[in-house]
Amino acid sequence: AQSVAQPEDQVNVAEGNPLTVKCTYSVSGNPYLFWYVQYPNRGLQFLLKYITGDNLVKGSYGFEAEFNKSQTSFHLKKPSALVSDSALYFCAVRASNQAGTALIFGKGTTLSVSS
């Protein structure tokens, strides 16, 4: 069965500091991995995805994520956090051979960036 784990309910960082939001996954076969961000009372916004190729994926708003196959991880990172980055972040996965099926989401991690 496919699953995603986001071990931290909340991550707190100071503005200007680097941030990391953790994600590990379990899937049969090769994974397609995604990060989404959700602001209050809004839908999810796509940030970035890993399909194949370079393990370091760059996405929107300066975010990036590193795919690590041996650790089955896909942590979201940003070198310098902004207060406006404060939101709920979701990691999601699907097996590459299951096109058209819904993504499996982690429980979400609330990022709080203080000024």
Partner 1 sequence: GAVVSQHPSWVICKSGTSVKIECRSLDFQATTMFWYRQFPKQSLMLMATSNEGSKATYEQGVEKDKFLINHASLTLSTLTVTSAHPEDSSFYICSVVAGAANTQYFGPGTRLTVL
The residue ranges that bind partner 1 (CB under 8 A) are: 32, 34, 36, 41-46, 49, 51, 88, 90, 92, 94, 96, 99-103, 105-108, 110
Q: How far is the CB of 108 from partner 1 (least distance, A)?
A: 5
- Identity of the amino acid at 74: F
Pairing of strands 10-14, 109-114: parallel
Burial (Cβ within 10 Å: 0-12, 13-18, ≥19) of residue 84: exposed
- Give the Cα separation of 99 and 12 in Å (integer): 35
Closest to partner 1 by CB, 26 vs 80, is 26
Q: How far is the CB of 66 from partner 1 (least distance, A)?
A: 17
Measured CA angle at 30 (ends 43, 65), to 5 deg: 50
Q: How far is the CB of 96 from partner 1 (least distance, A)?
A: 8
Q: How far is the CB of 49 from partner 1 (least distance, A)?
A: 6
Evaluate whether 35 touches 89 at the Cβ level (below 8 Å). Answer: yes
